[in-house]
Amino acid sequence: MAMAKPNRRTTMSEDAITEFRLEPTTLVELCRYRASRDPDRRMFAFLENDLEESDSLTLAQLDARARAIAVRLSRHAPPGARAVLSYPPGLDFVSAFFGCLYAGLIAVPAPPVLRVGVDDRYTRFRAIVNSCQPDLVLSKGSRLDRVDTLLKDMSTPRRPTSVATDEISGTDAYGWNAPRIGPDTIAYLQYTSGTTGPPRGVELTHGNVLHNLSLILANGCRDTDDFDRLPPVVSWLPVFHDMGLITGVLQPLYVGYDAVLMPPSAFTQDPVNWLRAISDRGAGISSAPGFGYELCVRRLSEQQLRSLDFSGWRIAVVGDEPVRAEMIDQFSAMLAPFGFRREAFFPSYGIAESTVMLSGGPVEPEPVIRRFDAVALAKGQVQRAGREDGARRLVGLGQLHPSMTVAVVDPATGEPCAPDETGEILASGPSIGAAYWNAPEETASTFNATVRGHEGRQFLRTGSLGFLDGGQLFVTCRVDDLIVVEGMQHYPYDIEATAGGSHAAIREGCCCAFTVEDGGRTRLVVLAEINSRYRVVAGPPPDAPSGARATVGADEVEEAVREAVFAGHSLRADEVLLVKAGSLPFTTSGKLQRSRCRSRYRARVFETV
């Protein structure tokens, strides 16, 4: 992106906008610049579940809506106040998000909720409101009654003001004055997914976000790229999560390509909708966590793909820990006959605390997949392996930008690991958030780590285990999820994948493995959801009438899990618990909550089939 450094004033006049040519210092400057340069460009479009476009936003409309919303919000709350955004899928969120920034408020993306206490979205909404204590809660007018009902149900010290941003008059835009903000001003709170504990609000400044946007661009671009000619990004990711907000809203604005957004439900109900939207619009970029690509592999048929064309799909971002090599193989093979190139896969690693991306790329070469000695990894050591048995294929999650520093340390002592050892990944750089909102103890333990040899620099503890090898970052497991039995390290993802494939009655992707201490002995527990097409009974299964659900014996399924886990990992599953479909807790971003699984298991709240 080629723009000139603006002067360091905290506000911009109309004349200054026309002279603005390079690196913006705030997201407000970025949006104003884009709108001044290309006002009639339809940068954002929204598709309903039938993939028909139902709404769009030009850059001029976005700027005008943001100014009008900012004027109205400024009447209710001073700069620096928090405003929670709880919107159904659509473009109202985009206008409201920038409206908060235009008012100097701290935006707080939150999930849309339907009713009190019925799903994880309400639980997350409640946790966010209790944490940030907002002055405002924003939504559409048609949703405000539901939001107000939720707020009445919550015991907050003060009741936030509810504002329907879609009912704000466009004439309010003329009363806007630019806020006094700069690179160090907090732009928004990005709440963590809650995989290992309650969601925490990461304070992200305008400078943090702009640096991460430039980092993503540097990791994912080629010298030949002409960004004004790039096909659009297509995204079904929720915009209240970091990956959805950055890839679907902020990165398109930063780089200058169009964005096509669609409801998450359109993908989860039928994954072909995502792929059809990519094919129909010749999309060049789209992103998903690993489970999104795996859902396509499991549920789509060749017949559904036959009329689609993926030859324009230039970058398929996948962000996970870890990214499975088998997923890359299977997805690439499935879509290759329809133009998809394996080279399009762009594995990356990031967390909310680092805005979103920490490592990624380079673009175009095939994903980096290397073989490591499995026995050595079980001992916490890194040793390349050939094609012999006992090797593990791990996917590299990208290169590090020169502005970012990564250290691998012993998670217990904080001492740097040797190059051939695995350890906790620590990161430092301008993309790292400032702190957790209103959580000084968690901030001190997470954001203020120090590393011998890097004096004077503070590091973020990512909570992930991994190592650096040949310029690539490899992530193996969450520190809290690592399974250690008799001194050997095992990754829960591997055990869960083995258990899930051991019997047809088990739902794919719906197993959880963890250990518990029992009288000084470590016990391995495996939870497995049963596919609703199967009925599990005690003892030998009776003959089922034609057309009825398949009936299997519980002992048969449990034994299949035990045998597979022992054969694949030399581990004895001390307890296999078969539970109903939908029993395992997942975050709103689709991540399995192993800590909650362990807690529920200890409390004996799981209902077995």
Per-residue pLDDT tens over the stretch 505-552: 999 889 999 999 887 789 999 999 999 889 888 877 776 655 567 889
Cα 141 to Cα 95, 105, 116, 435, 543: the distances in Å are 14, 21, 18, 33, 55
567 band by pLDDT with thresholds 50, 70 and 90: very high
226 band by pLDDT with thresholds 50, 70 and 90: low
The 10s digit of each residue's pLDDT in 240-284 is 999 999 999 999 999 998 999 999 999 999 999 999 999 999 888
How far is Cα of residue 323 from the mean position of the Cα atoms in its chain? 13
Domains of the chain: 41-181 (3.40.50.980), 213-479 (3.40.50.12780), 482-602 (3.30.300.30)
Q: Which two tokens stand for residue 436?
A: 């957790």
Identify the sign of the CA torsion 433, 410, 243, 4.
Answer: positive
Structure confidence at residue 398 (pLDDT)? 94
Residue type for position 158: R
Q: Is residue 1 scored above 50 in pLDDT?
A: no
Helix (H, G, I), strand (E, B) or coil at 368: coil
- Residues 398, 99: Cα–Cα separation, whole Å: 34
On average, the pLDDT of the chain sits at 89
Helix (H, G, I), strand (E, B) or coil at 194: coil
Structure confidence at residue 178 (pLDDT)? 96
311 band by pLDDT with thresholds 50, 70 and 90: very high
Supply the pTM of this predicted model.
0.90
Structure confidence at residue 445 (pLDDT)? 94
For residues 30-44, average pLDDT: 96
Query: Which of 38-42, 87-91, 481-485, 589-593 is predicted least confidently?
Result: 589-593
Q: Which two tokens stand for residue 247?
A: 């890839």
Q: Is residue 393 scored above 90 in pLDDT?
A: yes
Read off the DSSP letter of residue 416: B
- By the 8 A CB rule, do 384 and 392 touch? no
Structure confidence at residue 541 (pLDDT)? 74
Q: 10 Å Cβ neighbour count for 521?
A: 9
Q: Is residue 11 scored above 60 in pLDDT?
A: no
Residues 6 or more apart whose CB falls under 8 angstroms from that of 303 comprise none
Residue type for position 11: T
